[in-house]
């Protein structure tokens, strides 16, 4: 049986604003097993990023339970959350988030530096991941010297380098033209075919259609959750 990677029960999140407390997640129940590829859709402001940030241990819920690989994370300290991120998770963001003055190899190796992997092994593993995403020949280029699609490929390589149990991607094709977006989605699909577990936020139906499961948010609630069967219905 597949392991449960993520489980949330009645997850709520409120932000403290100048106008008081604003609840933006109203009780989300969600479960993801190893090997799944879930797309998260929903209108702007519906709570997708808030939910992903909590799953990614970048933020904590106000109430409810979140278990990552069976362990409760709701009450962990910032340091402990950082440890979970390093050990279990890989992130891909809309804006690539590469360090502009570091070359692609150094960027991809960065999570291993935080994990205190020795330098020679860092280089070897980073190069391996760059080759996996087709960027071997570009390892010594700076982010500004390659295309947006190549930068996002490098960001995927960086997400993979720590051998994460789960990849979280928030609008990873949001800055890309449709052909480059197709390329990146092809990469996510082939990673999932090889066993990677992925949760990916998008508001593009064509992108969501690449996943196997579709989750939809509306006004801070999970309102739909099921397999992707008919892409025209998205």
Q: Which residues bind ligand ADP (CB under 6 A)?
A: 15, 17, 22, 24, 42, 44-50
Mutual orientation of helices 148-160 and 178-193 as an angle, nearest 10°?
20
- Give min distance, CB of 115 to ligand ADP, in A: 28
CB atoms closer than 10 angstroms to residue 69: 16
Between 9 and 22, whose beta carbon lies closer to ligand ADP? 22
Q: Does 197 bind Mg ion (CB under 5 A)?
A: no
If you count them, how many residues does the chain have? 234
Q: Does 50 bind Mg ion (CB under 5 A)?
A: no
Pair of tokens at residue 62 = 């106000």
CA angle 96, 211, 184 (to 5 degrees): 35
- Give min distance, CB of 122 to Mg ion, in A: 31
Supply the DSSP symbol for 3: P
Of 3-11, 47-55, 121-129, 175-183, the segment contacting Mg ion by CB under 5 A is: 47-55
Chain centre distance of CA 219 = 21
Of 20-28, 43-51, 149-157, 176-184, the segment contacting Mg ion by CB under 5 A is: 43-51
Q: Does 49 bind Mg ion (CB under 5 A)?
A: yes
| β-strands 89-93, 166-170 pairing | parallel
- Give min distance, CB of 41 to ligand ADP, in A: 9
């Amino acid at each position: 049986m597949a392991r449960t990677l993520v489980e949330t029960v009645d997850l709520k999140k409120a932000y403290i604003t100048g106008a008081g407390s604003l609840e933006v997640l109203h009780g989300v129940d969600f479960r993801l097993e190893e090997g799944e590829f879930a797309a998260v859709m929903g209108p702007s402001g519906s709570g997708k990023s808030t939910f992903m940030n909590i799953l990614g241990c970048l933020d904590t819920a106000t109430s409810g339970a979140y278990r990552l690989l069976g362990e409760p994370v709701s009450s962990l300290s910032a340091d402990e959350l950082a440890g979970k991120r390093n050990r279990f998770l890989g992130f891909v963001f809309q804006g690539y988030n590469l360090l502009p003055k570091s070359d692609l190899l150094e960027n991809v190796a960065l999570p291993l530096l935080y994990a205190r992997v020795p330098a020679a092994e860092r280089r070897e593993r980073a190069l391996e991941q760059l080759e996996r995403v087709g960027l071997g020949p570009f390892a010594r280029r700076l982010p500004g010297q390659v295309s947006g699609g190549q930068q996002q490929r490098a960001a995927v390589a960086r997400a993979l380098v720590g051998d994460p149990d789960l990849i979280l991607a928030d609008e990873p094709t949001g800055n890309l033209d449709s052909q480059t977006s197709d390329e990146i989605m092809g990469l996510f699909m082939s990673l999932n075919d090889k066993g990677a577990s992925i949760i990916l936020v998008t508001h593009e139906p064509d992108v969501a259609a690449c996943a196997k499961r579709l989750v939809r948010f509306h006004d801070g609630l999970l309102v739909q959750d099921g397999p992707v069967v008919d892409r025209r219905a998205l």
